[in-house]
Chains A and B, each alone.
Chain A
Amino acid sequence: MNEVHWGLLVAAYLFLAGAGAGALFISGCLVLSNKIQVPHHLDTAKISAIVGTLLLIIGTGMIVFDLTSFQYGIAHGDMSKFFRFYRLFMTFEPSSMMSIGTWLLTLAIIFASLFCLSFRAKANQPGHSRPFAMINVILAICVASYTALLIGDINHNLVWSNSILVVIFLLSALSCGAAVVLIVKTRIKITDVNHSFAKSDSALLALELLTVCVFAYSIRNISIFNGVDNLLSLSSDAGAIWWIGAVLIGLIMPLLLNLTSIIGKTAASHSREYLLAVLILMGAFCLRYSVLLAGQYY
């Protein structure tokens, strides 16, 4: 009975756009707060901006791969269908969240690329990146919210129309951004000696856990009210991915890893930080995938 029209590729789109926006947001904040006067923060900001931009571009590619006209073009060698996605750029439909998102992502990719270039052109005067940092921070918030609004616009949908999803996707994008930055830090071998990252990340994960539980509770109530099985019950595919992937792997395990290093007052090893970041990213992907599946119940 259930037909899944939006699956892994759309989940990847929402996830990569969120993670890219998160990384660009943190990079922009590092520039705006003048932390980039410290060389290793400058490196972190620069590499995070590049990775964030690449994630935005790859994420946008995922939505193109998901278009049935594109898939048809590949399967039948039909170039007119293969390139049909250009139609997205031939019009602006203000009533369509997807059309708004197309132009928003295009703008975000352009300004993120300029932000990256500003590091390169003004390596000796990092302050020149500030205007681009400001624009990127704003666009990052818009892109992260848009990933929730795209599905939230389907207002008859019992799962997707839940407004708290915007908050969840924003928090998740931020923690994904932090995970990307953490991976960047482990690559350039910066150690978090005073646990500042672990502490702020824990606060973020705890807040996300709270909102995620509120969401699951409201979906349970909405399901009962509408006479359908709990759309996030553990026995369903969506529910299993939600509880095991998004909540356990993506939130509880990273939270425990952070807390043990704060309580033990030991700087987390790079391999441990790497694991933490990977768990957060896996969880964020599962979160979006399970929400997509749960919303395609009819």
Chain B
Amino acid sequence: MLDRRRALKLLAGGAIATTGVMFMPAGNAIAVIRQQGKKRLAMVIDLSRCNGCKACVVSCGMENGTKPNEHRTQVIQTSAEIGDKQYAFNLPIMCNNCETPSCVSVCPTGATFKREEDGIVVVDSTLCIGCNYCIQACPYGGVRFTNSTTGTVDKCNFCIQRTSRGLLPACVETCTGGARVFGDINDVNSEISKLLSQSNPMVLQASKQTSPNVFYIGLTQEESNTAFSIHSPQLWQR
């Protein structure tokens, strides 16, 4: 297992060295530079289409068998200000399956790793000891959590059980507003690539240098700099 992992890391290093940088961050807005011949699965969330119904939260729980109070994704209801105007919005949050994830290098058992074939960051629950080091290392509060059914760490893995067979993630399939779009951003003809090139996508907290693979349309610079957490209070349900 270790040898295979090392070999994959070396291969990945070589691939990056020959094809160059993949992302050029400009503030929190992201200019995508594609890496040919390799899949890079990502999600775009269009905030103007999210109505806060939380169908994604429910379908994710049903698909992945998490307990009702344990979420791989959550839609937080929050507010922001532009000038003297305050407005409310829904913000779906999940693991960003980052390009340079800070959770991977800290794992002492190699349970958390980034899949070479599609870039998804996964947790092997048969290797995870539950030390919670990765939870501390992730700058995105609450996206990793302890799954009480396994006693190990869990997170969004872009529904690998579905996406490895060409299906869409459960949350994308169920989204009532069509806000979540999923696909390979290295494929120029994919829906997600077209959407990214037509809009001004932002990521959450680009300053944390993890290069997220979850992009947002309709997020302001100020909002993207805010440290939202899956446990952020639900503003208008108090």
Please report A residues at the B interface, Cβ cutoff 8 Å.
1, 3, 5-6, 63, 66-73, 75-76, 78, 81, 84-85, 87-88, 90-91, 93, 95-99, 102, 151, 153-157, 295-296, 298
A5/B132 contact (C-beta < 8 A), A99-B108, A156-B102, A156-B139 known = yes
Query: Which residues of chain B come closer than 8 Å to A85, judged between CB atoms?
Result: 129
Q: Are A1 and B139 in contact (CB under 8 A)?
A: no
Within 8 A of A (CB), among B114-149: 127-133, 135-137, 139, 141-142, 146
C-alpha spacing A3/B132, complex, angstroms:
12
Within 8 A of A (CB), among B200-238: 208, 227, 229, 231-233
Contact of B106 among A6, A67, A97 (CB under 8 A): A97
C-alpha spacing A5/B231, complex, angstroms:
14
C-alpha spacing A155/B133, complex, angstroms:
13
Query: Which residues of chain B come closer than 8 Å to A70, judged between CB atoms?
Result: 129-130
Chain B 97-114, CB within 8 Å of chain A: the 1/0 string? 000001001111111000
B151 at interface by CB-CB < 8 Å: yes
B152 at interface by CB-CB < 8 Å: yes
A67/B105 contact (C-beta < 8 A), A93-B110, A156-B139 known = no
Tally of A-B Cβ pairs under 8 angstroms:
96
C-alpha spacing A182/B28, complex, angstroms:
55
A1/B231 contact (C-beta < 8 A), A93-B110, A154-B137 known = yes
Q: Are A93 and B132 in contact (CB under 8 A)?
A: no
- In the complex, besides A88-B129, A154-B136, 19 extra interface pairs with C-beta distance below 8 angstroms are A1-B141, A1-B229, A1-B233, A5-B136, A69-B128, A69-B130, A73-B151, A81-B151, A87-B109, A93-B107, A95-B105, A96-B105, A96-B133, A98-B131, A98-B133, A102-B108, A156-B102, A156-B208, A157-B136
Contact of A68 among B107, B132, B139, B233 (CB under 8 A): B132
Q: Are B151 and A71 in contact (CB under 8 A)?
A: yes
B2 at interface by CB-CB < 8 Å: yes
Q: Are B146 and A68 in contact (CB under 8 A)?
A: yes
A3/B142 contact (C-beta < 8 A), A93-B108, A96-B106, A96-B108 known = yes
Q: Which residue of A lies closest to B141 (CB)?
A: A298
Query: Which residues of chain B come closer than 8 Å to A155, judged between CB atoms?
Result: 102
Q: Which residue of A lies closest to B231 (CB)?
A: A1
Query: Which residues of chain B come closer than 8 Å to A84, judged between CB atoms?
Result: 128-130
Q: Are B136 and A88 in contact (CB under 8 A)?
A: no
Q: Which residue of B lies closest to A68 (CB)?
A: B130
Q: Are A69 and B129 in contact (CB under 8 A)?
A: yes
Q: Are A67 and B102 in contact (CB under 8 A)?
A: no
Contact of A6 among B136, B146, B150 (CB under 8 A): B136
User: Nearest Cβ distance between residue B109 and chain A, in whole angstroms?
Assistant: 4
Query: Which residues of chain A come closer than 8 Å to B142, judged between CB atoms?
Result: 3
User: Nearest Cβ distance between residue B85 and chain A, in whole angstroms?
Assistant: 21
Query: Which residues of chain A come closer than 8 Å to B229, judged between CB atoms?
Result: 1, 298
C-alpha spacing A13/B96, complex, angstroms:
31
Query: Which residues of chain B come closer than 8 Å to A76, judged between CB atoms?
Result: 151
User: Nearest Cβ distance between residue B71 and chain A, in whole angstroms?
Assistant: 13
C-alpha spacing A88/B129, complex, angstroms:
8
16 contacts between A and B (CB under 8 A): A1-B231, A5-B132, A68-B130, A68-B132, A68-B152, A85-B129, A87-B109, A88-B129, A90-B109, A91-B108, A91-B110, A93-B110, A99-B108, A155-B102, A156-B208, A157-B136
User: Nearest Cβ distance between residue B217 and chain A, in whole angstroms?
Assistant: 25
Q: Which residue of B lies closest to A86 (CB)?
A: B129
Q: Are A69 and B136 in contact (CB under 8 A)?
A: no
User: Nearest Cβ distance between residue A254 and chain B, in whole angstroms?
Assistant: 31
A67/B129 contact (C-beta < 8 A), A6-B136, A72-B151, A156-B139 known = yes
Query: Which residues of chain B come closer than 8 Å to A90, judged between CB atoms?
Result: 109
C-alpha spacing A67/B109, complex, angstroms:
13
Query: Which residues of chain B come closer than 8 Å to A296, judged between CB atoms?
Result: 136
Q: Which residue of B lies closest to A155 (CB)?
A: B102
Q: Are B127 and A87 in contact (CB under 8 A)?
A: yes
A81, A85, A87 pick with most chain B CB within 10 angstroms: A87
Q: Which residue of B lies closest to A151 (CB)?
A: B136
Q: Which residue of A lies closest to B1 (CB)?
A: A91
